Amino acid sequence: MKNHLVRTHRSAEHFPREEHLAWQIAEVATDPVEVAPETAEMIVNRIIDNAAVAAAALTRRPVANARAQALAHPYRPGATVFGAEGRFSPEWTAWANGVAVRELDFHDTFLAAEYSHPGDNIPAILAVAQHAGRTGRDLLRGLATGYEIQIDLVRSICLHEHKIDHVAHLGPSAAAGIGSLLGLDTETIYQAIGQALHTTTATRQSRKGEISSWKAYAPAFAGKMAVEAVDRALRGEGAPAPVWEGEDGVIAWLLGGSGAEYSVPLPGPGEPKRAILDSYTKEHSAEYQSQAPIDLARRMRERIGDLDQIASIVLHTSHHTHVVIGTGSNDPQKFDPGASRETLDHSVPYIFAVALQDGTWHHERSYTPERAQRPDTVALWRGISTAEDPEWTRRYHSTDPREKAFGARAEVTLKSGEVIVDELAVADAHPLGARPFAREQYVAKFRTLAEGVVDPAEQDRFLEVAQRTGELTADELPQLSFTVSPDVLARAPHAPKGLF
């Protein structure tokens, strides 16, 4: 990997285009290096993972509305929308599938200086691949780039510190991935990256306070913007430049300011794009920093015994966990039994309480109003707090994968005064966890979440196609989706008609 120093440059300063971060990313996208077998294997896993969580979310209102918008834009050749027959405009397909994938907050993650769900790259890049008549091999190249660029940006540029939403790293990565997929030249990809970044920077209020369905829509919007940015760049339209480093650019006014410097690692020429191997998926439908606490709660139930004897619980954890999903956020909504699902899945006190009581976690049952409003749950929940521990913060930011941790130390104080302590650094499903996910677990996750939604024969067909993604012809690539019966789609709540 080569580190690129990125800072603001005055307009009058000599700053060659070849030194712009957007140009350097575009050069990575155009590098013809082959996709390594282990990278290709993991990409297939994540294609299956995305389809699994999309199936589970298919009848939820935000997903149904996004799908309805896409279905209002039929197009040939077009791309395929989860659950639907026919072909649709690729940018609207990216939108609908992006919402379906993100709605339950249940797919892959990478955490470093910033947060990310790099699987958000898949809907946009896949939609363009289907529309443009590309092969499975082309798709693997595009997705390897998308994952690489987003993860490399996440390693080095913190957005949330400046209250910018993490999808600002997704627009450029998806644009770069589409560029790799299509075999575009550096100039075109450079312009598309600049446009994609400029149209996807927004505040992170989407994940603060009263969290709404826009939490799932924001990444899908970034994917849609990436598709449109590539379309405009192909037509010869340009972007703000230098988009990150300009005097009035992203760094100067949205991030660390004119004096800030960032060191961004990118693969050198001929270096394989392997970043996807550093990411990890979820066993539980909750914010990633809740994964290890859920497993920890399940492990501690037997030691604690009678949960009514709990006086208080403190979760000692990293700064990120404390301020994003813990009491350090100062969000009263995180303790509100009437809060939205989106808010509850960003409340580690709620999640720890329910996992402790139930000994399990379910993507639907754990979030129902009846579950959240149980008096014994509310009492336990409001006795749970988080505290930042410098050692957990250090481990969160460690570059050594053996030391990097996203968990917590739980101190459970009983009414008798006894204190029960346990800790867990990584989730059981993490590559270094007790039960790491491999192909068998990804397939099982798909089967579980698709049950009652996708017909078993259609499940078999999709899994067969997905597991030979790299061999798919252009004619076969549209099969990398699934359909469901009209009866399943009819379960979605009725929503008013919009403009389309």
pLDDT tier, 401 (very low <50, low <70, confident <90, very high otherwise): confident
pLDDT the model gives residue 155: 96
Residue 480 clears pLDDT 80, i.e. is over it: yes
pLDDT the model gives residue 210: 80
Burial per residue of 383-421, b for 16 or more beta-carbon CB atoms within 10 angstroms, e otherwise: bbebbbbeebbebbeeeeeeebbbbbbbbbbbeeeeeee
Q: How far apart are CA 292 and CA 309, in angstroms?
A: 24
Residue 116 clears pLDDT 90, i.e. is over it: yes
How close are the terminal C-alpha atoms of the chain, in Å? 46
Q: pLDDT (tens digit, 9 = 90+) per residue, 89-102?
A: 999 999 999 999 99
Handedness of CA 27, 29, 202, 256 (dihedral sign): negative
412 sits in which H/E element:
strand 408-414
Q: pLDDT (tens digit, 9 = 90+) per residue, 193-228?
A: 999 999 999 998 988 778 788 988 999 999 999 999
Q: pLDDT (tens digit, 9 = 90+) per residue, 229-285?
A: 999 999 999 999 999 999 999 999 999 999 999 999 999 999 999 999 999 999 999
Say what the pTM is.
0.92
Q: How far apart are CA 138 and CA 133, in angstroms?
A: 10
Question: Are 333 and 339 within 8 A, CB to CB?
Answer: yes
Percentage of residues in the chain with pLDDT exceeding 90? 94
Residue 472 clears pLDDT 90, i.e. is over it: yes
Residue 473, number of CB atoms within 10 A of its CB? 11
pLDDT tier, 399 (very low <50, low <70, confident <90, very high otherwise): confident
